[in-house]
Structure 1
Amino acid sequence: MTRPVATWLTLALIGFGATLASSATVTYNWVVSYKFIKPDCVEKVSPVVNGAYPGPTIDVTEGDTVVVVVTNALPTENTILHWHGIEQKGTPYSDGTAETQCPIGPGQNYTYSFTVDRPGTYWWHSHDGLQKGSLYGALIVRSKEPEPFSVDGEHIMLLNDWWHASQIDQIAGLLSIPFRWVGNPQSLLINGKGIFSNCNVDPTCNSSSTDCGYSVFQVESGKVYRIRAIGSGSLVMMNLRIQNHVLTVVETDGDYIVPKTFPSADINNGESYSFLVKADQPIGNYWIRTSIAYRTNDGSAIGRAILRYVGAPAALPRKSISPGVDNLMQSMRRARRIKSTTERAVPRTSSRQFILLGTQNFYRGYLRWSVNNISNAAPDTPALLSNAFGTLAQDRSPIIEQLTPPTVFDYNLTLQAAGLSTEAERAYHLIKIDHGEVIEIVLQNTRALNGAAEYHPWHLHGHNFWVLAYERGTYDPMNPPKLNLKNPPFKNTVTLWPESYTVIRFKADNPGVWLMHCHILFHLAMGMEVVFLEAADQIPPPPPNTPVCGKILPRETCSNI
């Protein structure tokens, strides 16, 4: 995950003249298979790409075409890969979800092809079941133009949470009666490495394994480094700190940010940030630490890595690092201070407004997560294909479009306390939008059935959006909050804080079928998502030989559309 300084400097110098260079096609051949791995010193079988955990880094330049040929060597599981933060303009069939393609079955392959047109820090991951827990990696898009800051080198930090239970055991528990929650992670990993906190009492834990331990990030005294931090976790928001160093945020989700310096940073699942870190301390070893933010936990799951100065011994840091502090109001204030360096022409008004309320519900005895009381049920056929073949109406899942909560109540209460039914509907939550519309979405939070106030990282496929407001309490359309229409950050993933709401806005300029969902993997598996069918009559036809499934008969190939 380290990009050597010499290599980075060479590429940076080339980048100053890259605007005249032609774009390239970069091809990767990946095989998804099972492997015994022990990233926190406890062994577990997990799906990986090309035998590596975390998976390969895609490192390309804006304007390049990326081709990834994925072969599924898992004997009993399907797989799908998603390119998180890539808008897929003109290539919706490469987004990599159950809405845009048939799953890649055992022994099958699928070719993704897309253009990266926006520099930034992105990532890729599986979008099938709970495979994202181990199937993920960085996707770096380098700018052809000089960036608004200068550095001497960079490092990638993939921040993940890790369980010892298998992904199959976890999803079986989530979708069973009685419900079995996955619990907090056993470990937090940085670039796929850590040490289980109870290793000394667990006979299955082998702390001498070279597969686990602490990732090391080397720096040279006096130099400035870009840290590309990616929230690749499945459940927990993480607070990132580097001992005796501060973090200056300069980019998030591909958007350059007015530099702001913080002692630590909250990074939610699906988000990416670039921080500038100056190696301005005495030569030595310093802890890099991640901790669980805003979830009840016993503090045992802590991520650790080492910032090592050139000339320092290969040893652990001598001093301990203090834990991060949960302070919701401070975190929200910091989030509001994130401003784009670009003053975009944000539409002053929206064509339509959707209020999306996330709730925890039951459906026929199963615990679910829902949006506007609908727990999403995936259709038989990927909607992008059924739109092309005209089979969407034949799907056995009922289709419901619910643009606002069916009942307005005090969202600081649970459904039970508000006197409402806890039963949700289960349907395909499909929302149709027209090309050119400006869509405003109010993401509204409420309490879970047990009274817990949770956060939700919301991710939109196919688009970036302007983050206009973070506010506490219940959204009141008769008294809306003040919106930042001058320089809001332009992101693909945003945090909905506990007991709060978030306002975003995007322009429908990318025909396709696009998911919007909570990026807590377990909430997504339990139905917390909606689907946008955008400009259905302008969606390009599937590429030739695209696999078909569901209600589409095999003889109806994509070659004859």
Structure 2
Amino acid sequence: MEVKSVNTTAMILGLFFLISFVAAEDPYKFFEWHVTYGNISPLKVAQQGILINGKFPGPDIAAVTNDNLIINVFNHLDEPFLISWSGIRNWRNSYQDGVYGTTCPIPPGKNYTYALQVKDQIGSFYYFPSLGFHKAAGGFGAIRISSRPRIPVPFPAPAGDYTVLIGDWYKTNHKDLRAQLDNGGKLPFPDGILINGRGSGATLNIEPGKTYRLRISNVGLQNSLNFRIQNHKMKLVEVEGTHTIQTPFSSLDVHVGQSYSVLITADQPAKDYYIVVSSRFTSKILITAGVLHYSNSAGPVSGPIPEAPIQLRWSFDQARAIKTNLAASGPRPNPQGTYHYGKIKVTRTIKLASSAGNINGKQRYAVNSASFYPTDTPLKLADYFKIAGVYNPGSIPDQPTHGAIYPVTSVMQTDYKAFVEIVFENWEDIVQTWHLDGYSFFVVGMELGKWSAASRKVYNLNDAVSRCTVQVYPRSWTAIYVSLDNVGMWNLRSELWERQYLGQQFYMRVYTPSTSLRDEYLIPKNALLCGRATGHHTTTPGPLSEGSERF
């Protein structure tokens, strides 16, 4: 696939164009990242990893609400590369989303400058490589967005703020794993679990009597994980950008793709304590342990490793106990000018169900029977340049079909400013996890059994948590409310990476006939152009005429 790139001078000029649309008073932070292969041994077996500036995991991004992040990414790998920003809303700017439906990959030996604004956001998130199966080799890191200094936070400033990236891991090279899937197979069971890139020995240092914030993200490929610290309670304070009711937990289930912030206090006798992460709902339990080290520790870790809860019901009850702290200040979703989301009329109900099957003799996964296949041209570029034949709006139904799965470049057409109910139905015996790029949504319901209109009677219409990634338990449903206030082409996907790679994803086209920059920014001047968009110019007028049906 041919990719048209631009030289450094043109990129800088494009950068000035990009940042001209954001308020001058909002600060800028500049990053230069070099993405390389490197030798790592997280499970004591040498393997090839993906490093950013020589680090595995990659460097943290620390930002403040409304900061503009200018990130120049140099690809030194031997294949195209993309980075996506899980939880960053990329306001009016899906061109910067960093998934193949919106953005051309960075070719080997080239670079691309992302321009993001963390508009009206706080919280704990992460970035990751979205193309191919790079996520199985690393290339991920934490994003933390702090409140502006004058905005009160509903807890005292902690003595320290720690990133804790957890996830399942394979000793097998990511290209070999990808080949297994390309050849029609499935992923094997993972080889272990990592804490901050280490299979053992990860350490957090604390001082007695002080309180610390831990930002925990599950950056793994397929397994829900339980996180706990020996003899210490964790007070949940934030979930993916939402301050929560401050509930104490002895352990916390973190499903694939999810992020949580907890506070811990060094209030135990001075010694070392186990930090434990283990897989949930798996026939074989994977477990790894790190160390919480008191500065005046009198001895190493000792005693039995604390066990995780076993029952599915415990996890279910914990998830439903996580609610928004309505008394907290700071940015949060405000659909249609009111925080009372439960009083807004739903304009459309979308039901989504996953399924599996074979296409051309190979394993595939689907949403509402549509198994997503990428095209040679990012969908957002096809929209902008009015390129025919790339995809059909409405190529995925908004209700389960219960039929055989089929191949399609699936795009769901939706209207700007609609207020939508999405119901995820899980007919399987596994925990599913779903993520929607560009948005936070209200998790209004979560129950065992089949969803029906009567299920709305149990919805939380007052203080449901707002987040961007949600789990659906076995033989259960989860319902969310979404205010479609962010124009663009947005990826809705399974966070179980084998499934997303093999088709369990689609794009939601949030459309308006408006050409106002108040609704959507123009294509970046430095945009990479590939596929059928090669040779076009970024000054071409972009918005589609209303009623257009093929791209």
Regarding TM over 0.5, the answer is yes
Q: How does 1:92-241 map to 2 (within 5 A)?
A: 92-117=94-119, 118-133=121-136, 134-144=138-148, 145-150=151-156, 151-177=158-184, 179=185, 181-195=186-200, 214-241=201-228
> Residue 42 of structure 1 aligns with which residue?
45
| Aligned equivalents of 2:480, 2:525: Cα separation in 1 | 36
The code of the aligned residue for 2:433 comes to P
> Residue 318 of structure 2 aligns with which residue?
334
What is the Cα deviation at residue 194 of structure 1? Answer: 1.6
| 2:268 matches 1:281 | yes
For 1:192, what is the secondary structure of its paired residue? coil
For 1:475, what is the secondary structure of its paired residue? coil
RMSD: 1.7
Cα distance change of structure 1 residues 377 and 536 upon mapping to structure 2, 3 Å threshold: farther
The code of the aligned residue for 1:263 comes to S
| Aligned equivalents of 1:92, 1:489: Cα separation in 2 | 24
CA contact (8 A) 2:412 2:509 kept: yes
| Aligned equivalents of 2:97, 2:513: Cα separation in 1 | 19
What is the Cα deviation at residue 154 of structure 1? Answer: 2.2
| 2:363 matches 1:367 | yes
> Residue 373 of structure 2 aligns with which residue?
377
Q: 1:461 aligns with which of 437, 452, 467?
A: 437
| Aligned equivalents of 2:83, 2:48: Cα separation in 1 | 19
Which 4+ stretches in 1 moved above 3 angstroms? 396-399, 478-481, 536-540
> Residue 8 of structure 1 aligns with which residue?
none
Q: How does 1:210-359 map to 2 (within 5 A)?
A: 214-297=201-284, 299=285, 301-312=286-297, 316-342=300-326, 344-348=339-343, 349-359=345-355
> Residue 64 of structure 1 aligns with which residue?
67
| Aligned equivalents of 1:383, 1:216: Cα separation in 2 | 43
Q: How does 1:428-507 map to 2 (within 5 A)?
A: 428-447=409-428, 453-477=429-453, 480-507=456-483
| Aligned equivalents of 1:61, 1:545: Cα separation in 2 | 25
For 1:388, what is the secondary structure of its paired residue? helix
| Aligned equivalents of 1:267, 1:237: Cα separation in 2 | 6
CA contact (8 A) 2:379 2:391 kept: no
Cα distance change of structure 1 residues 31 and 351 upon mapping to structure 2, 3 Å threshold: same
CA contact (8 A) 1:394 1:551 kept: no
Q: Over residues 289-340 of structure 1, what are the superposed CA-to-partner deviations in whole Å (9 max), with x where a residue is unaligned?
A: 000001221x3x3121100111116x64122313213211111111111110
Consecutive unaligned residues of structure 2, counting only runs of 5 or more, are 1-23, 328-338, 515-519, 542-551
CA contact (8 A) 2:63 2:146 kept: yes
> Residue 55 of structure 1 aligns with which residue?
58
| Aligned equivalents of 2:140, 2:534: Cα separation in 1 | 33
**Stretch of structure 1 that moved more, 544-553 or 44-53:** 544-553
Q: Over residues 210-233 of structure 1, what are the superposed CA-to-partner deviations in whole Å (9 max), with x where a residue is unaligned?
A: xxxx11111111111111111111
> Residue 18 of structure 2 aligns with which residue?
none
Q: Over residues 73-124 of structure 1, what are the superposed CA-to-partner deviations in whole Å (9 max), with x where a residue is unaligned?
A: 112x111001111101122211110011111111111111011131111111
What is the Cα deviation at residue 342 of structure 1? Answer: 2.3
| 2:538 matches 1:558 | yes
Larger relative contact order, structure 1 or 2 (CA cutoff 8 Å, min sep 6): 2
| Aligned equivalents of 1:537, 1:46: Cα separation in 2 | 44
TM-score computed with the length of structure 1 as normaliser: 0.86
| Aligned equivalents of 1:38, 1:242: Cα separation in 2 | 25
| Aligned equivalents of 1:360, 1:232: Cα separation in 2 | 24
What is the Cα deviation at residue 403 of structure 1? Answer: 0.5
Q: Over residues 519-553 of structure 1, what are the superposed CA-to-partner deviations in whole Å (9 max), with x where a residue is unaligned?
A: 11111111111210111534432111312111224
CA contact (8 A) 2:392 2:411 kept: no
Q: Over residues 25-48 of structure 1, what are the superposed CA-to-partner deviations in whole Å (9 max), with x where a residue is unaligned?
A: 101011111111112211101222
Q: 1:79 aligns with which of 78, 81, 85?
A: 81
| Aligned equivalents of 2:228, 2:203: Cα separation in 1 | 15
Cα distance change of structure 1 residues 173 and 541 upon mapping to structure 2, 3 Å threshold: same
CA contact (8 A) 2:385 2:540 kept: no
TM-score computed with the length of structure 2 as normaliser: 0.87
> Residue 34 of structure 2 aligns with which residue?
31
What is the Cα deviation at residue 367 of structure 1? Answer: 1.2
> Residue 526 of structure 1 aligns with which residue?
502
The code of the aligned residue for 2:97 comes to D
What is the Cα deviation at residue 432 of structure 1? Answer: 0.8
CA contact (8 A) 1:257 1:338 kept: yes
What is the Cα deviation at residue 182 of structure 1? Answer: 2.1
Q: Number of aligned pairs?
A: 496
What is the Cα deviation at residue 480 of structure 1? Answer: 3.8
Cα distance change of structure 1 residues 130 and 275 upon mapping to structure 2, 3 Å threshold: same
The code of the aligned residue for 1:125 comes to F
